[in-house]
Amino acid sequence: MLDQQGEWPHGVHPIGTERKTEIVTSLTVMGIETSCDETAVAIVRQIDGAGPELLANEVLSQIEDHAPYGGVVPEIAARSHLVHLDGLVKRALKSADLTFNDLDGVAATAGPGLIGGVIVGLMTAKAIALVHRLPFIGVNHLEGHALTTRLTNETPFPYLLLLVSGGHCQLLHVKDLGDYVRLGSTIDDAVGEAYDKTAKMMGLPYPGGPALEMIARDGDPTRFDLPRPLLNRKDCDFSFSGLKTAVRKHVLALAERDELGDQDRADIAASFQAAVADVLDNRVSRAMAKTKDQLGEKPRLVVAGGVAANQALRARLTETCETNGFTLEVPPVSLCTDNGAMIAWAGLEHLAAGHTSPMDLEPRARWPLDKSTTR
């Protein structure tokens, strides 16, 4: 667990102060997530001697707002959070049949993310905390993903984490609450970004990742010879820009000959997905070799983030785990993408450990989860 001396980059830590020691038998925490294009509010509860409960989970997607632009527009996202967040807070309380007086704390994403959206959620949580005299907890968005499996699967520490989303692609050794060691990271594009941009090249609808996965089911994964970047490197880093460029060359070549039909798109999608699966298998296997002896008798691989919803990649990672003697744990699909439950749970875990955040905690666009790195 991190100490209170502020060892995170720039001397900023989301958990800034200690609460007075007290005996707590039940904690109920609201979580607010506004780091990208989902406005989300959730409430979780933990009672000693019982498993965690998800009392409310409200998520408002902005897909229709951003679809005309083929990607997330930061200003549109922030304005949507501002318009809808108060209503979602009310809906979450009503769904859980609670009032603010029933809460023990309120948590919000403090970064990383689109700064305008982060500000909206963070300021809303601070206002609730001040008005209702509740502890406030600023949460690292990546930590929310990292700890979701402890809400849904009650996964014990330590474990190996593959975090794959539109903005992030990392392998982390999750040792304990607040104690994370990065083993590898993308040196260019995140895997989710590569999915979305590859889909956009082929004219697939936004969001591209799910659309690409769908047509890949009818494609031939061996038709196009695509690269597997960094496959021979001994580290655990990722790279997807070269793979994306190779796909672009095939798409342009077919388009120039007016031969880019539905089956061609399906074959490209399947070939792309097969290449991604090979890369993930290789990188994860290296991370497993580095950490297996430190993960106890039953080593676990946890996969979190939006790309964890991809069924083909889940199947491949299941094979990777079987080969390396690991157990695969993945949160439910609804909690793989950004949501308030993961923020509420991370906040509850920190609150239970006696951590709260100062009211002058600043929003952050960038915020490495591993305190020893800055990228």
CATH superfamily of domain region 159-330: ATPase, nucleotide binding domain (3.30.420.40)
How many Å apart are CA 145 and CA 147, to the nearest integer?
6
Tens of pLDDT along 211-243? 999 999 999 999 999 999 999 899 999 999 999
Tens of pLDDT along 273-283? 999 999 999 99
Mean pLDDT of the chain: 91
Q: Which two tokens stand for residue 46?
A: 């933990």
Measured over the CA atoms of residue 42, residue 47, residue 52 and residue 54, the dihedral's sign is negative
Please determine whether the domains at 9-153+337-356 and 159-330 fall in the same fold group of CATH: yes
The answer to whether 27 touches 45, Cβ cutoff 8 Å, is yes
pLDDT attached to residue 25:
77
- Dihedral through CA 240, CA 237, CA 345, CA 5, nearest 10? -130
Tens of pLDDT along 48-103? 878 899 999 999 999 888 888 888 898 999 999 999 999 999 999 999 999 999 99
Of the ranges 10-19, 22-31, 52-61, 275-284, which one carries the lowest mean pLDDT score? 10-19
Residue 16 confidence (pLDDT) above 50: no
117 band by pLDDT with thresholds 50, 70 and 90: very high
The residue ranges of every structural domain in the chain are 9-153+337-356, 159-330
Residue 170 confidence (pLDDT) above 90: yes
For residue 165, count other CB atoms closer than 10 A to its CB: 24
Tens of pLDDT along 339-366? 999 999 999 999 999 999 999 999 999 9
Q: In terms of CATH architecture, what is 9-153+337-356?
A: 2-Layer Sandwich (3.30)
Q: Which of 56, 119, 122 is nearest to 90 (CA)?
A: 56
The answer to whether 104 touches 133, Cβ cutoff 8 Å, is no
For residue 43, count other CB atoms closer than 10 A to its CB: 27
How many Å apart are CA 343 and CA 36, to the nearest integer?
14
pTM for the full model? 0.90
- What does the pLDDT average to over 142-159? 96
